[in-house]
Amino acid sequence: REHQRKIEPLGQIGLTARSVIAVGSGKGGVGKSTVASCLAYALQKSGAKVGLMDADIYGPSIPHLLGVSGRPEVIEKRIQPKEVDGLKIISMGLIVEPGEAVIWRGPMLHGAVTQFLRDTDWGPLDYLIIDMPPGTGDIALTLSQLLPLTGSVVVCTPQEVALLDAIKAVAMFRKVKIPVLGMVENMSGFVCPDTGKEWDIFGRGGAQKKAQELDVPFLGDIPITISIREQGDAGKTSDVLQNEVTAPRFEKLAHNLV
């Protein structure tokens, strides 16, 4: 099991971690960054040292979701990750001014991700969680060339059109030889706060079925809740792991993953 693996330097980049896990999705807006952050918090809650690297260079949402801002310090050419609630964070959103348009060419994306991994003082980590950009395999390919990843998690929502994109994400990770550790169904069911009745707004169980078809483990589902959205908007995603409805769901995900 993961926690029995040694913390050792990975590849040629000097990152020292027990496990490196990429969280991806076929498309944006399915809750990939939310799941990546909550997974990081859940692993940390279990006692692990966790880093969270936002590799979504075009649309970095980790700083917003975690309520962190300000440029990371650079000491002797080493980037110092921001510490939030005990997690170590790095994101392009901390470097570029909010609202600023950045034009990235492929090689620059490669450079940014390489720097985040190689030039950041992560220290020894149990887990580095990487929030991947949605869709294309560009960054996944770069990562797979830089270090041996433990694997990836694909986040999707239950409706058929979203699942089609998730299938592509699984195929993409497989193509760059990053093992798929499992699929997560997010926004699966909504418990009406007034009546307690559960509504499957986007359907339910689609991801589990697709995971079976693709021969990928199903890690669990996360309901749509007003609290997850509110806490994300308020930069208090750590509270998701304090909430009695949502915390156990993410703890179960983390447990199924490692």
Binding-site positions for ATP read 26-33
Rank residues 15 and 169 by Cβ distance to ligand ADP and give the closer one. 169
Closest residue by Cα to residue 218 from 159, 171, 156: 156
* Least distance (Å) between residue 78 CB and ligand ADP: 28
Q: Residue 11 or 28: which CB sits closer to ligand ADP? A: 28
Question: Which is it for strands 180-191 and 198-199: parallel, antiparallel or unpaired?
Answer: antiparallel
Identity of the residue, 27 or 118, whose beta carbon is nearer to ligand ADP in the bound complex: 27
Residue closer to ligand ADP by CB (options 10, 133) is: 133
Q: Residue 178: is it exposed, middle or buried by C-beta count within 10 angstroms (0-12/13-18/19+)?
A: buried
Positions at the binding site: 26-33
Q: Which helix (H) or strand (E) holds 213?
A: helix 206-214
Cβ at position 29, least distance to ligand ADP in Å = 5
Q: Could you tell me the smallest distance in angstroms from the CB atom of residue 247 to ligand ADP?
A: 13
Site residues (vs ligand ADP, CB under 6 A): 25, 28-34, 61, 186-187, 222, 224-225, 228-229, 232
CB 139 within 8 A of CB 178: no
Tokens, residue 235: 């930069």
Residue 198 and residue 191: Cα distance in Å, rounded? Answer: 4
